[in-house]
Structure formats: C-alpha cells, structure tokens
Chains A and B, each alone.
Chain A
Amino acid sequence: MIANYRAREGVRTGFIFTVTWLVVLVAVFPLFWALSTSLRDNQEIISRTPTLLPVDFTLENYDTMLKLSNFPQQFSNSTIIAIGSSLSVVFFGSLGAYSLTRFRFRGQGLSLRVVLLTYLFPAVLLVVPMFIILRNLKLTDSYAALIIVHTATGLPLGLWLLRAYFQSIPIELDQAAMIDGASRLETLFDVLMPQAIPGMISIFIFIFVFSWGDYLWPLILITSRSQMTLPLGLHTYMNDMGFEWGPLMAATVVFALPVVFLFTFIQSRLVRGLGAGAGAVKF
C-alpha cells in the first residue's frame, strides 16, 4: 500500500514536471525560433526542410538590419521615450501617492477610484481627441507627445502601487522628519521615497515595458520616419517592398533584448505577488 502511494506521488510529480516544462517550451520557443532564424542565411530560411538550428551560422541579417530602415534611430527613440515615461510616472505617482496617503482632503477616495477607471476605456476612443489636442499644441510627431500619453496611461497603475507602498511606511518616520525640521516635500524626497525604492523600481519596469512595446500611440501620433519608435518601425518595415524575414527576425531579437534583461530583474517579484507594498521598511 505504501509503495503504491509513493509511486502515485512520484508519477504525479513527474507528470507535473513534464507538463510544466512543456509549457515553458511553448512559451519560449517563438523567441528561440526568431533567434535561430536570424542567424541563418536566406537559403536556409526559405528551404522546405528547415532545421531547428541553423546549419551555417551567419550574422548578415544583423548587418542588414542595422543598415536598413533606420533601426538605430528608432531604437534610441524608443529608449528615450520609455525612460522618460517611466521616470515621469515614478515622479508624479510618488507625488500623488504621497498626497493620498499622508494628507487628508476631500475627494481622495473618489480620485483614486476614478483614476483607476481609466483602464476600462477603449484606447481607440481617446485616439482621435488626443490627436487633435496634441496637434493643436503642435506637439505631434515628437518625443513629448508619446511621453505624455504613455505617462497618462501608466499613472493610474503607478499611483495604485506606490500608494500601497507608502501606506506600509510607518508614519513615525514622517513625524521624526517633521520634528527634525524637514518640510513636507523634503520628507517625501528624503525619507519616504528611499523607503519605497522597490515599488518605484517595479513601476519603472512595468511602464518601461509598456512604453517600449506600444504600437497604437506611435501609429497615431508619429508620421516622420526619424521620430518613429521601434514597434512602428518594425511593422512599417514588414509592409515595405523587398521585405525579408531574416533581418526582421534579427530586429525582433534585438528589440526584445532590453525587456528580457529587465525581466530577469523582476522575475521573483512577479510571482511573489503584485499585491505588493509589504516588506518596504525594516525596523
């Protein structure tokens, strides 16, 4: 009987093991396949009998990609905008979260709930008005436009998360700082924000990833090639004449790199729960 039980447990664990790694395989395969494709020459790509790994490794696709279609410029555009948006969300989110948790004024609860409601709305509804507004401000086709809309999109999430973090910081720290002579804003920057760094990093990464991969807003707001971001650039390339899969796959691999890099950063955080806020302060 006991042996039977152990055997069943073993089978169960083995089954779960297999299923999980199968899932991992499915999740990881596409990017692997892109990498593999990008490292082979066109001959192999269009062969009717492709192999898992390239027979002849080549970097010519990467070479082509760098020369074609403005890739480096777009990469830098995307980077600037992603970093700009993330920093803005962290900054304004901290201000807002500070105000919501350490002050009392009418409409606080309402503000928070209303701000979160924005995620209910189809982005497409906002597209036309935003385009018109930004055009009137002469801001279309610029970094500023994208940074603004990305910040506006990411701010509710930032507020939510940072508010949870700030709430877990004991108010005695604020009080000690006030008695030490710090103004309210000094208290925020000198005492609260250093305590909320894990939360701020999480938000930074979330917004970065969102901004990095966003396609809709650049599609609407950007028209000149020099201002394009990567998502838009990649898709435009796919619609160009003389489009080749090889360089495209090379581009996607490079495009995905920063995200993969950031991802290893937050890997453990993700699973430990987005309910967050805990463990921000040690006493």
Chain B
Amino acid sequence: MASGSVALRARRRFRYLPSDLETREKWLGFFIFLPVILLFLTFFAYPLFYGITLSFYKLNTLTLTGPFIGVDNFRTFLSSADVRNALGNSLYWTVASLTLNLLVGLLVALALNERFPGRNLARGLALSSYLIPLVVSAAIWQWMFNAQYGIINYTLFKLWGILPVSWLSDPKTAMPAAIVLNVWRTFPFVVIVLLPRLQTIPEELYSAAKVDGASAWDRFVDVTLPHLRSLFVVLILLRFIFDFNDFTTLALLTGGGPVHATETLPLLVYRQMFGLADTGAAAAVAVLMLLFLLILAVVYLQLANRGERASA
C-alpha cells in the first residue's frame, strides 16, 4: 500500500517549462511580480508619459481634440499672471505649512516623549486629526471660520474683543486660515516620524549631560537634535512634496478663492482643465510642477548629503 507515495518525476505540466529547477524558480518569481508591474505600467507610467505629451497640444477638454502647438503652452507661462500667482501661492502655502509643522510637530513629540499620567490616551487623541477625512475637516473648519456664526470669531470677540474677520472671504486672511487647517491636520505626521526615534535616545545621555552641567536648552541642542537630524532631512523633503502637490485641502476649503488668493499650482491645473477647458495648458502646468519638484529634490538631497558628510 502506498497511499503517500509520490512519483519522483520533475513536475512538468507544460513541455515548454525549462527543466532546470533554478530557472523555473526565477521565472515563477517574475510572474508573481507581474501583476504589480502591469498595474504600475498601466496606471502610472503610461498616464505619466501620456500626460507629458498632452502638454504639447492645445486641447479642448470637452472634445479632447486640438492642434499640436509644441512648447507654446510653456512659453505663455512666462508671461502668465495666473501662473505667477499660483507659483507664489504654492510657495507660500508649502513653506509656511512646512515650517509650522516642524515646529509644532517637534514640540508635541517632545511633550509626548515624557511620562505623565494619561500619556497613552493623550497620544492617541493628539494625533487623531490626521485620520479624519479631509472633507470632514474642511467642512468643519469652514463652519468654524464662518464670518457670522463661526465659533472662532465668537471666541475671539468674547475673549479679546476682536471684531469678526471674514476669514475665508478676505484675500488677505484666506491663505493663513487655510494654513492653520493644514498644520492642524498634518502635524501628527511629523510627530509619528519623530516620536519613535525620540524614544530610543537613552536616558543615560541626558543624565550624563546633566552631570556635565548642561542646561535644558543645551541638552536639547546637543543630545536631542543630533538624533533627529536625519529624520528632519526626510521630513522636510516629504512634507514639501506632499504640500506642494496637495489639491484637495484648498479645493475643499476655498476652491482657490477668493479671487485666486489661495489658488496654488494644483488648483490652477484643475481650473485650466475644467474652468478654462484647456487640457493642454493644464498638463503643461502639471509638468512644470513635476520639473520644479525634481530639480528641488535633487538639489536638496545633494545639499543634505554634503551636510551629513561634513558633520560626520
């Protein structure tokens, strides 16, 4: 009886499979990866290149037909007030959000690193703003920023007698208000990145510094910061990219207004495509964004690496 006997034939279902076990394995590995590659090519690489080629046309969004105009789209940008405005707004938005995020994130991470009653609960709650759907947050903050009934104006008036501000309808205050929302929502990202590293700094380093006579500020600069340096490099890069590319936050909160005061480059792309029905121009702006980011990233990483080597 041989209910468990197995024929020792090399299992060959198809005659076309190579007989060598090692080669069969290599191909299997590749085939398993194939779905990922296909997904990537079809839904990323191909659209990317397609999008870049679109920027060389003047296409009508509705009919998607139009003439090839070469680099005309890009030439008009140099003189386009829209583009200059959007670029300025993008930089304002990105740099301000980034700076505030780092400051707030660092402070909160430092605070959450300490031991105090209720710390675990505090950690969970403090970081919750990141997970709430953006639509929800945008809607709520719109409500809070409401000029007549919003709680913010009410509180400001009640506590400090400040007259109501039309946060989202005044071109001067719209961007700052949006930045407040952005920082409120994304600072947990910074905390989540910094906190684990903070927790690995050995207590002894601080004790040794204390014994050496270092003040709290000294300890922060000489013990804490060096451990965080590499993370900051990554954080700055990532947050810059995310904020620079962010469309949804501003689209939901202000729609780019008032009077394009909060129209950043992504929003301009959208407006070009659906407002002005010029798909080619929209694609061109997007390509510009891409180039800008790539150059910035490369330059930034070079500087960062040189900095690392210098301090090493």
Contacts and interface: CB of A to CB of B under 8 A. Distances in A.
A146 to B, nearest CB: 12
A248 B139 CA distance: 8
9 contacts: A33-B144, A95-B33, A121-B245, A122-B247, A126-B47, A126-B51, A129-B50, A185-B32, A255-B135
A100 B29 CA distance: 8
B40 interface: yes
Given A23-B108, A96-B36, A275-B196, A231 B245 contact: no
Contact of A231 (B107, B128, B133, B266): B133
Contacts of B33: 95-96, 99-100, 103, 105, 111
Contacts of A121: 48, 245, 290
B125 A128 contact: no
Interface of B: 6, 25-26, 28-30, 32-33, 35-37, 39-40, 42-44, 46-48, 50-51, 54, 64, 107-108, 111-112, 114, 116-120, 122-129, 131-137, 139-144, 146, 148-149, 151, 154, 184, 188, 192-193, 195-196, 241, 244-245, 247-248, 251-252, 265-266, 269-270, 273, 279, 282-283, 286-287, 289-290, 293-294, 297
A282 interface: no
Interface residues of A, number: 90
A274 B48 CA distance: 29
Contacts of B188: 27
Secondary structure call for the B interface = helix
Contacts of A76: none
Contacts of B64: 132
B125 A274 contact: no
Interface in A19-45: 19-21, 23-24, 26-28, 30-31, 33-34, 37, 45
Contacts of B149: 45-48, 50, 245
Contact of A34 (B25, B43, B134, B143): B143
B261 to A, nearest CB: 19
Contacts of A238: 139, 142
B113 to A, nearest CB: 9
A128 B273 contact: yes
A137 B267 CA distance: 27
